[in-house]
């Protein structure tokens, strides 16, 4: 649970100064948005809204926390502590774009309204909850795009994530961004249990196998105590599964098309695979690169898989964690297909080939260009740490107080805020793709289907275009009304948020999505809002004097 103390000290110093000046209950409006899409792309996936709403619902400072704040603000009055004791979010309203949506710079992801003393204390927690979540979800979506729809994507990053919270959050938002599962790490490896925790907390599917440590821990068949395997239908029993595996290994070794690929395999690896298959006959997936993939790992896997097949079980496949993944995956597929053909085992050539080993967008793209036979990618470090970009850079800016629009100016035009309480719309073209997002003043009429509308760049006078929308979607919806009885949007389950994300990404124009030199998506303001921005800009900017 996130505490209100997850805050910068200056939020509390400002809250005290607001209170001291009698401004703490003034009605304020803040926008939470970002200025630039991450990873050199032209889109972002919005995530973290659910956690923000949960934070609002549980917002309350304890007496112990209030005492700590008082000690951190020397000279603060005791009456301020009484004010903090009464703080809650009953007077706050939150309007947001639905979680899982594709979003763009400058457009508010969330609009937060309420007493300025309270809303100021929401800035740091909201930014913390949205920045990382949206960054990871976007990173996951980018990996999904380059891998393609047909591939299975597994999040493997718990051991490399920034602490337990980072591991659990990354699993959740990778799934939201289009990954299929998180890795289930079994009893023989202590690392990665946070993935299992994420599966439990969020209902994310779990996938997993064993590690190199498991393979190398075995020495001989004497270590397998229970060699009995009951058939999948329960009708027959193999009293010595180990011997059956050895029989199949011999058949593979002397198969005409496979002769010469290997001679003697590593027997401790064979024992490890056999032991694992006895433990998980319905979910046998082996890590085959502990010693030598083609001369040991693959023949040993096939022997165990064929023995399982005799008793009605179907092995899942293999994982490659090192080497030339394009070459090895192709050779493994050829080996499986040869076993299917030579030993008359239908479907054996369709074993799942999973690849891992510090994969990222670039390596997957390179594998696609080389040609490979990988069915599933396990991606860890580069995914959950967002190695290519450390942070998204969301900001939380005051845009109105007491019904008076406010603007933040800067010599860097990208840091100039867009003032006043706004409404945001997505305009769609004839082909069904989004054309432009437009912001208008709160009281302006909404864009209408079939009516020509002038869309202007907020700060570049020459960038403007007319749009005749074929569909208009209002983006901001109310997710929190404090104590008000009016209706608000319900938070959907994670699976629905994920489905929304996938659908929105599929509905984007391909040139906005490509990895290299994507076309920028247009974000605009109405002509009326454009004029007001520049009026307020000139009104607030000091006029210099030349000496």
Q: Which residue range(s) make up the domain with 15? A: 9-140+389-540
Number of H helices, E strands in the chain: 18, 23
In this structure, the answer to whether residues 109 and 220 fall within a common structural domain is no
In this structure, the answer to whether residues 479 and 514 fall within a common structural domain is yes
Q: Which of 525, 526, 523 is nearest to 102 (CA)?
A: 523
pLDDT band at residue 186 under the 50/70/90 scheme? very low
Q: Coil, strand or helix: which one is 286? A: strand
Domain boundary among 333, 357, 379: 379
> What HEC string does 391-458 produce?
CCCCEEEEEEECCEECCCCCCCHHHCCCCCCEEEEEEECCCCCEEEEEEEECCCCCCCCCCCEEEECC
| Residue corresponding to tokens 């979910």 | 283
Cβ atoms of 11 and 72 within 8 Å: the answer is no
pTM above 0.85, yes or no: yes
CATH code of 493's domain: 3.20.140.10
In this structure, the answer to whether residues 349 and 215 fall within a common structural domain is yes
In this structure, the answer to whether residues 461 and 493 fall within a common structural domain is yes
- For 396, phi and psi rounded to 5 degrees? -135, 105
In a domain, 478, yes or no: yes
Q: Which of 246, 258, 247, 252 is nearest to 334 (CA)?
A: 258
Q: H or E segment at 247?
A: helix 241-253
pLDDT band at residue 184 under the 50/70/90 scheme? very low
In this structure, the answer to whether residues 286 and 357 fall within a common structural domain is yes
Domain boundary among 350, 379, 408: 379
Question: How many residues in the chain?
Answer: 547
> Mean pLDDT across the stretch 145-155?
95
Could you count the other beta carbons within 10 Å of the beta carbon of residue 75?
6
Q: H or E segment at 513?
A: helix 510-513
In this structure, the answer to whether residues 536 and 454 fall within a common structural domain is yes
Instruction: Measure the CA angle with vertex 99, ends 94 and 105; round to 5°.
Output: 85
- Indicate the burial class of 501 (C-beta count within 10 angstroms; 0-12, 13-18, 19 or more): buried
**Domains identified in the chain, total number:** 2
In terms of average pLDDT, the best of 122-131, 180-189, 191-200 is 122-131
Cβ atoms of 501 and 137 within 8 Å: the answer is yes
In a domain, 249, yes or no: yes
In this structure, the answer to whether residues 229 and 356 fall within a common structural domain is yes
Q: Which of 499, 507, 502 is nearest to 428 (CA)?
A: 507
326-365 pLDDT, tens digit per residue, is 999 999 999 999 999 999 999 999 999 999 999 999 999 9
In a domain, 248, yes or no: yes
76-120 pLDDT, tens digit per residue, is 999 999 999 999 999 999 999 999 999 999 999 999 999 999 999
CATH code of 281's domain: 3.20.20
In a domain, 166, yes or no: no
Cβ atoms of 467 and 526 within 8 Å: the answer is no
């Amino acid at each position: 649970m996130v505490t209100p103390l997850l805050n910068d000290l200056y939020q509390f110093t400002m809250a005290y100064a607001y209170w001291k000046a009698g401004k703490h209950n003034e009605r304020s409006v803040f926008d939470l948005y970002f200025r630039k899409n991450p990873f050199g792309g032209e889109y972002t996936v919005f995530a973290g809204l659910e956690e923000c709403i949960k934070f609002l619902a549980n917002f309350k400072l304890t007496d112990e926390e209030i005492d700590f704040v008082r000690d951190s603000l020397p000279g603060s009055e005791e009456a301020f502590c009484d004010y903090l004791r009464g703080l809650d979010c009953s007077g706050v309203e939150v309007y947001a774009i639905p979680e899982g949506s594709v979003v763009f710079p400058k457009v508010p992801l969330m609009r937060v309204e309420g007493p300025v003393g309270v809303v100021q204390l929401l800035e740091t927690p909201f930014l913390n909850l949205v920045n990382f979540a949206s960054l990871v979800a976007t990173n996951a979506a980018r990996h999904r795009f380059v891998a393609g729809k047909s591939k299975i994507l597994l999040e493997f990053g718990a051991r490399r994530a920034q602490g337990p919270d980072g591991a659990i959050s990354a699993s959740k938002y990778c799934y939201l961004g289009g990954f299929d599962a998180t890795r289930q790490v079994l009893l023989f490896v202590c690392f990665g249990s946070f993935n299992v925790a994420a599966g439990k907390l969020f209902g994310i599917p779990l996938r997993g196998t064993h590690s190199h440590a498991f393979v190398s821990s075995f020495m001989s068949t004497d270590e397998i105590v229970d060699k009995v395997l009951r058939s999948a239908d329960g009708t027959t029993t193999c009293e010595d599964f180990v011997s059956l595996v050895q029989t199949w290994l011999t058949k593979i070794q002397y198969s005409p098309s496979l002769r010469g690929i290997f001679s003697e395999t590593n027997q401790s690896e064979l024992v490890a695979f056999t032991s694992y298959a006895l433990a998980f006959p319905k979910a046998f997936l082996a890590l085959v690169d502990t010693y030598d993939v083609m001369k040991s790992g693959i023949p040993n896997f096939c022997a165990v898989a064929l023995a399982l097949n005799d008793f009605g079980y179907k092995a899942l496949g293999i994982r490659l964690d090192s080497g030339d993944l394009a070459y090895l995956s192709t050779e493994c597929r050829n080996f499986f297909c040869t076993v299917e053909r030579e030993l008359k085992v239908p479907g054996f050539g369709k074993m799942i080939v999973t690849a891992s080993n510090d994969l990222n967008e670039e390596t997957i793209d390179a594998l696609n260009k080389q040609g490979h036979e990988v069915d599933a990618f396990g991606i860890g470090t580069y995914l959950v740490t967002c190695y290519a970009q450390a942070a998204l850079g969301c900001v939380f800016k005051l845009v109105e107080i007491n019904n008076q629009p406010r603007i933040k100016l800067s010599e860097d035009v990208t840091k100039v805020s867009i003032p006043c309480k706004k409404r945001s719309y997505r305009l769609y073209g004839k082909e069904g793709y989004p054309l432009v997002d437009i912001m208008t003043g709160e009281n302006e009429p909404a864009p209408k289907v079939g009516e020509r509308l002038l869309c202007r760049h907020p700060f570049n006078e020459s960038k403007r275009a007319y749009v005749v929308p074929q569909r208009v979607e209002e983006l901001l919806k109310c997710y929190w009304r404090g104590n008000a009885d009016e209706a608000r949007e319900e938070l959907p389950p994670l699976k629905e948020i994920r489905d929304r994300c996938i659908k929105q990404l599929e509905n984007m124009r391909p040139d906005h999505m490509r990895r290299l030199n994507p076309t920028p998506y247009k974000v605009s303001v109405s002509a009326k809002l454009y004029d007001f921005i520049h009026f307020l800009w000139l009104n607030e900017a000091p006029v210099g004097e030349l000496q």
